[in-house]
Structure 1
Amino acid sequence: MPASVAIPWGDGPPLDLSLPDGWPDPDVMEPALDGPIAEYRAALTAALDHPLGGLSPIEAMVTPGSTVAIVVDDPSRWTPVREALPVVLGRLKSRGVLDRDISISIGVGRHHAVDAEAMARRVGEEVAASYRCFSPPVDDLAQYEDRGTSADGIPVRVFRPVAQADLRILIGSVLPHLQAGFGGGYKLIFPGTSHRSTLGAIHRVGLGGDAGALLGSTADANPMRRAIRGAAGLLGPCVSISHVLGPPGQVFRVASGHPDAVQDELAAEVARRYRAPDAELADVVIAGNAPWPGDPMQSFKVLLNHRSACRSGGALVGLFWTDPGEIDRSFPMPAMRAIAATGAPGGVVMRRGLAMADRVAAASGSAASFMVRWARELVVDREVLVYAPPLRDRIGPRLGPIRLYSDLAELRQRLALLAGSAGESSPRVRIFPSGGLTYCPASSVAVRRGAGQEHRENRR
């Protein structure tokens, strides 16, 4: 077995991960990072000159007096927003669109609001000083325009500057998403710049069945993406400028055009690069959160993105590099501390109660129902261990049923103990070092639940 597996770890040296003594070589799945764009500005210009989906270039869609709403993804993503905005703004101004007629909104959804300092970092200081920039207040209904109800029953309440513009330009990226199949495109508006009532309704559409069945699914087969597209039909013209990202600083593709056409094209590229190949169910699945910056919610999604690779009763291990500035971006620290304070007894109660909580939340129409569903599917039938020193230092050794570690040796000991208690002297291990890019949908494990699983059971 190799001495260790290198796990990307923030901006510093990789984390050297060693497995317990005597374990066989793991199956390591790396993303395909070939062919990054060398000159981003040139690639963006080419994409804007040749939009997909039959649209004209953005400068042909505006005239003097046109109002334009630009929506960019939030700071937890590493989309090259600062690099894209000057090119887009230059094209709009070349057609006589005035600065005062352009707004820039961050698609925060339910994440923390973006303050002035974070706004300047996201869009650039000059842009932040020259244009109206917003972080939509998700709960202030007075700030939203009601466009009615879509055919899917979604109340379409969109932040006013976005809803009332003559043209919307969406700048984001396509990454695997648990409910929408892939993020990006219209999702920057639904739910990015939507009222909480719209956000909750859209997420509830994506709660049917196993979350793994929606991860990486095509738009036509995905109920949440169909609902998003239906809601977008109640708005006016939109243009998507979207990216296929690697680690921060790497872009593999940029495309512009109709949001549906761009989304379908780039989702296929993401699937080619980042979808895990078929393989037998593993006893232990280990996933790093790179390149996510350490937001706990996004990091736990990394484990959900690879859950289907792990057998029921197995162990899911997260290796979460954490930027202290991101630690409570979408999961408030007081809530984490309250859960952590319940200790091991609270973990047992939560594990047993999550199935019922899931049913109650879904039946009540709670906006938090999708969070409860993710928690249930993560911890109910698998052991979850997380190496995240800053989070462990802040809240202690447990987050409900999840064990937190700041010492890799202790984590290794726990893995060896779990394998021994399950009678596995040579457990099958799959490792996803850049788990923020890769994903393993349920469809890729279907072929393993027959002969492969039977083989595992016969070995015990």
Structure 2
Amino acid sequence: MATGTIEAPWGGGTLRLDLPRAWGVGPGDVVEPDLRGATSDYPVALDEALDAPADSPRLEEVVGPGSRVAIVVDDPSRWTPVREALPIVLARLHGAGVAVGDVTISVGVGRHHAVDDEAMRRRLGDGPAETYRCFSPPVDDLSAYADLGTTSRGIPVRVFRPVAEADVRVLIGSVLPHLQAGFGGGYKLIFPGASHRTTLGALHRQGLARDSDAGRLLGGSAAENPMRQAVGEAAGFLGPCFSISHLIGAPGMIFRACAGRPESVQDALAEEAGRRFQAPPAPPADVVVVGNDPWPGDPMQSFKALLHHRAASVPGGVTVGLFWTDPGEIDRSMPRSAMRLIAGSGAPGGWAIRRLVPMAERILMARESSAAFMLRWARELVVDRTVMVYAPPLHERIGGRLGPVRIFADQDSLWKAVRRALPRDRRDAPRVRIFPRGGLTYVPRA
């Protein structure tokens, strides 16, 4: 029998999981991140980091009168305290003599949706959005990018001009587990955040050769990660960069702010992120349940949370996503028209996708398409397991299927379907592992 109530964060509240009682799932089957020790005073924490930067002079010593400074912040799908950080950083820049007209602010959107004026104000705050030249780099407009050359790996280094042509770049972001780069943050705000699509596509092919084990990239060290190595080499084509990065939990929960040399900041925060967020070893489970908290409801990021826990499942098992979905975020990374097209294909479309994804991935890799990495992750997720998602708003928008993924609006139907999908000898007593805050936790491949 179950040993206690199991709940997952759900928007501003909680979702009680109505799991089959016969499964005997209890709190011991739940994996939570270490959320202890959040700072109680972020401005003080940021000032302390800026006063003692890692392996770098202080920001005020890097710039001066006449310096052109490009600030790059991460996109609105992250919950980095950008609005809180900017006034502190800008005050230091201007205190060192940097003129308002010499500062630009770019949002590193990469392939995500462009940031419009309203979203820019929400991300930066009204003051910075109105005072400074602010940009959402147009990923397909080659004329907006400076071509800085080609790396030894054949990656074209095409960087958004306000960023490439500045004297100093200030990167404001956070470090979270990342499928391909090990951990996000750092130079990734520029590569690919402020890079042309050709650069973005070349970077996203790193480490995804047909015979490679992409699952081993998650949570790995930068020194052994092909994408991080490629990003680091591309960054060498730029001038000075200064990183201000964070280790974050839920929105408003900041464990640490760190500033200085991008590589040093990234390594320090990635090490702590691993200690806090990596799940302890355990036998693979028949049913893996993953919440998308604290991601703000973007379906693409929610599916990435499932991939972060792929290694927790037995081959042929069932992965269940609990996707709290903000209507305002529902098509940030995946256009609603594309979701409806896939959803409209129904079960036959799901059957075809399972079989055609590997073939399509091989074709796109051969053509060096920027879409190849998306298909690689799709294959990693759906080809050898059953995926089901509880997401009432998404179900309302597109119905009960997204290709091979079934979407549910009520838990009773969900858990009945999960039970039916299990092998007969596992239906009444499956091994279950639950990750309520799957936007933070991750399970690396052994």
TM-score range, shorter chain: over 0.9
Q: Which residue of 2 aligns with 1:115?
A: 116
In the aligned structure 1, how far is the partner of 2:172 from the partner of 2:440?
A: 19
Give the partner amino acid of 1:399.
L
RMSD value over aligned CA atoms?
Answer: 0.9
Q: Please identify, of 197-206 and 352-361, the stretch whose mean Cα deviation from structure 2 is larger.
A: 352-361
* SS of equivalent to 1:378: helix
Q: Which residue of 2 aligns with 1:64?
A: 65
* SS of equivalent to 1:442: coil
In the aligned structure 2, how far is the partner of 1:49 from the partner of 1:261?
A: 16
The number of residue pairs the alignment matches comes to 441
Following TM superposition, by how much is the alpha carbon of 1:421 offset from its aligned partner in structure 2, in angstroms?
A: 3.2
Q: How does 1:328-407 map to 2 (within 5 A)?
A: 328-407=331-410
In the aligned structure 2, how far is the partner of 1:69 from the partner of 1:151?
A: 26
* SS of equivalent to 2:243: strand
2:35 counterpart of 1:37:
no
Give the partner amino acid of 2:19.
L
Give the partner amino acid of 1:337.
R
Q: Which residue of 2 aligns with 1:196?
A: 197
Q: Which residue of 1 aligns with 2:172?
A: 171
Following TM superposition, by how much is the alpha carbon of 1:440 offset from its aligned partner in structure 2, in angstroms?
A: 0.3
Q: Which residue of 2 aligns with 1:80?
A: 81
Following TM superposition, by how much is the alpha carbon of 1:420 offset from its aligned partner in structure 2, in angstroms?
A: 5.4
In the aligned structure 2, how far is the partner of 1:328 from the partner of 1:253?
A: 31
2:16 counterpart of 1:49:
no
* SS of equivalent to 1:169: strand
2:291 counterpart of 1:288:
yes
Specify every segment of 5 or more residues in structure 2 that has no aligned partner in the other structure, as ranges: none
Q: Which residue of 2 aligns with 1:146?
A: 147
* SS of equivalent to 1:190: coil
In the aligned structure 1, how far is the partner of 2:292 from the partner of 2:43?
A: 28
Q: Which residue of 1 aligns with 2:16?
A: 16
In the aligned structure 2, how far is the partner of 1:325 from the partner of 1:279?
A: 37
Q: Which residue of 2 aligns with 1:265?
A: 268
Q: Which residue of 2 aligns with 1:125?
A: 126
In the aligned structure 2, how far is the partner of 1:198 from the partner of 1:408?
A: 42
In the aligned structure 2, how far is the partner of 1:381 from the partner of 1:351?
A: 9
In the aligned structure 2, how far is the partner of 1:326 from the partner of 1:363?
A: 33
* SS of equivalent to 1:8: strand
Q: Which residue of 1 aligns with 2:317?
A: 314
* SS of equivalent to 2:10: coil
In the aligned structure 2, how far is the partner of 1:405 from the partner of 1:211?
A: 29
Q: Please identify, of 408-417 and 134-143, the stretch whose mean Cα deviation from structure 2 is larger.
A: 408-417
CA contact (8 A) 1:51 1:258 kept: yes
Deviations 1:104-135 (A, max 9, x none): 00000000000000000100001101000000
Give the partner amino acid of 2:353.
M
**Taking every aligned residue pair, what percent have the same amino acid on both sides?**
62
Following TM superposition, by how much is the alpha carbon of 1:207 offset from its aligned partner in structure 2, in angstroms?
A: 1.5
CA contact (8 A) 1:350 1:401 kept: yes
Specify every segment of 5 or more residues in structure 1 that has no aligned partner in the other structure, as ranges: 444-460
In the aligned structure 1, how far is the partner of 2:88 from the partner of 2:119?
A: 21
Following TM superposition, by how much is the alpha carbon of 1:189 offset from its aligned partner in structure 2, in angstroms?
A: 0.1
Give the partner amino acid of 1:311.
V
In the aligned structure 2, how far is the partner of 1:21 from the partner of 1:360?
A: 46
Q: Which residue of 1 aligns with 2:443?
A: 440
* SS of equivalent to 1:110: coil
Deviations 1:332-352 (A, max 9, x none): 000010001110011001111
Following TM superposition, by how much is the alpha carbon of 1:425 offset from its aligned partner in structure 2, in angstroms?
A: 2.4
CA contact (8 A) 1:419 1:425 kept: no
Give the partner amino acid of 2:38.
P
* SS of equivalent to 1:147: strand
Following TM superposition, by how much is the alpha carbon of 1:422 offset from its aligned partner in structure 2, in angstroms?
A: 5.0
Following TM superposition, by how much is the alpha carbon of 1:210 offset from its aligned partner in structure 2, in angstroms?
A: 2.5
In the aligned structure 2, how far is the partner of 1:249 from the partner of 1:329?
A: 22
Q: Please identify, of 20-29 and 214-223, the stretch whose mean Cα deviation from structure 2 is larger.
A: 20-29
In the aligned structure 1, how far is the partner of 2:190 from the partner of 2:153?
A: 17
Following TM superposition, by how much is the alpha carbon of 1:358 offset from its aligned partner in structure 2, in angstroms?
A: 1.6
CA contact (8 A) 2:110 2:195 kept: yes
Q: Please identify, of 409-418 and 170-179, the stretch whose mean Cα deviation from structure 2 is larger.
A: 409-418
Give the partner amino acid of 2:30.
V
Following TM superposition, by how much is the alpha carbon of 1:3 offset from its aligned partner in structure 2, in angstroms?
A: 4.7
In the aligned structure 2, how far is the partner of 1:393 from the partner of 1:2?
A: 33
In the aligned structure 1, how far is the partner of 2:426 from the partner of 2:179?
A: 32
Q: Could you state the TM-score of these two structures normalised by the residue count of structure 1?
A: 0.95
CA contact (8 A) 2:3 2:24 kept: no
Give the partner amino acid of 1:440.
V
In the aligned structure 2, how far is the partner of 1:416 from the partner of 1:2?
A: 20
In the aligned structure 1, how far is the partner of 2:264 from the partner of 2:244?
A: 11
CA contact (8 A) 2:45 2:257 kept: yes
CA contact (8 A) 1:20 1:415 kept: no
In the aligned structure 1, how far is the partner of 2:206 from the partner of 2:223?
A: 14
In the aligned structure 2, how far is the partner of 1:218 from the partner of 1:401?
A: 33
Q: Could you state the TM-score of these two structures normalised by the residue count of structure 2?
A: 0.98
Q: CA 1:422/1:331 → structure 2, altered by over 3 Å: closer, same or farther?
A: farther
